[in-house]
Amino acid sequence: MKKSKTSLIPQETIEGKILLIRNKKIILDRELSLLYGVETKQLTRQVRRNIDRFPDDFMFQLTREEYNELLRCQIGTLKRGQHSKYLPYAFTEHGILMLSSVLNSKKAIQVNIQIMRTFTKLREMLTTHKDLQKKIVAMEGKYDKQFKVVFDLKNKLLN
């Protein structure tokens, strides 16, 4: 199997499309459609035809409140009639992986591979961050004990 080092889409572009909604990292259907080069209605049609492959932890539809908040954050003001009348679907990492089984174009497969690599890199960065945080806490504890000894000694000498 031939591995391609050239990316269709820069990793930063994919990272910029990952949002945190309901404490889950997701990408919206319209963003995935742009990445895959298909219309959003085509993507959602394929998902609806294969809905058994997309349980709630793989995909969910935003509520009206979530959608309005998202628009406010992204745009700042809402103008009547300029936004989709359909609430978008949010796909988790597992849902995006499942999309590769319902979208069968070569581009969709390549884009899916890139998205999975991006999620993996983000997970690795989070793990590294947590490890670093643990080391800092351990060092603080170690040095706090040493400083306590010095301060106790100073207090004994002054009293």
pLDDT at 46: 93
Average pLDDT for runs of 10 along the chain of length 159: 59 87 93 91 93 95 90 62 76 90 82 85 81 74 70 73
pLDDT at 23: 92
Those residues with Cβ within 8 angstroms of residue 31's Cβ, 6 or more apart along the chain or in another chain: 17
Asked if 102 contacts 74 with a C-beta cutoff of 8 angstroms, the reply is no
Does the pTM surpass 0.95? The reply is: no
pLDDT at 64: 92
Secondary structure letter of residue 101 according to DSSP? T
All structural domains of the chain, each given as residue ranges with its CATH number in brackets, are 11-124 (3.10.260)
Give the integer Cα–Cα distance in Å for 155 and 159.
6
pLDDT at 7: 62
* DSSP three-state, residue 92: strand
Burial class (CB in 10 A: 0-12, 13-18, 19+), 85: exposed
